[in-house]
């Protein structure tokens, strides 16, 4: 019922004939670069989030300690 090896090979041959190997190589390289950039952006976002959480905790600690000093 699903797509078999023969059907995938036919689709692959049609794509190669339509676009050519150089174009497919360029598309693959561009797609790989985009994925790499996306992963780097996600990693930077997670680091920024952790930094913001640490800053918030430091600010909360300072406010709490100043309240305790006045009392």
Does a structural domain hold residue 26?
Answer: yes
Domain count, the chain: 1
Does a structural domain hold residue 53?
Answer: yes
Residue 8, phi then psi, degrees to nearest 5:
-65, -40
Quote the pTM value: 0.50
Note whether 24 and 16 are within 8 A (CB): yes
Does a structural domain hold residue 6?
Answer: no
**Helix, strand, coil % over all residues of the chain, rounded to 5:** 90, 0, 10
Task: Give the pLDDT confidence score for residue 65 in this predicted structure.
Answer: 53
**Among candidate residues 4, 24, 29, the one with its CA nearest the CA of residue 14:** 24
pLDDT in tens, the chain (71 residues): 688 999 999 999 998 898 888 888 898 899 999 999 999 999 988 888 778 777 766 666 555 555 555 55
Task: Give the pLDDT confidence score for residue 13 in this predicted structure.
Answer: 92
Radius of gyration of the chain (CA): 27
């Amino acid at each position: 019922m699903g797509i078999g090896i023969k059907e995938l090979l036919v689709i692959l041959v049609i794509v190669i004939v339509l676009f050519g190997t150089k174009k497919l190589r360029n598309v693959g390289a561009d797609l790989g670069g985009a994925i790499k950039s996306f992963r780097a952006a996600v990693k930077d976002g997670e680091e920024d989030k952790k930094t913001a959480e640490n800053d918030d905790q430091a600010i909360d600690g300072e406010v709490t300690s100043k309240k305790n000093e006045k009392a």
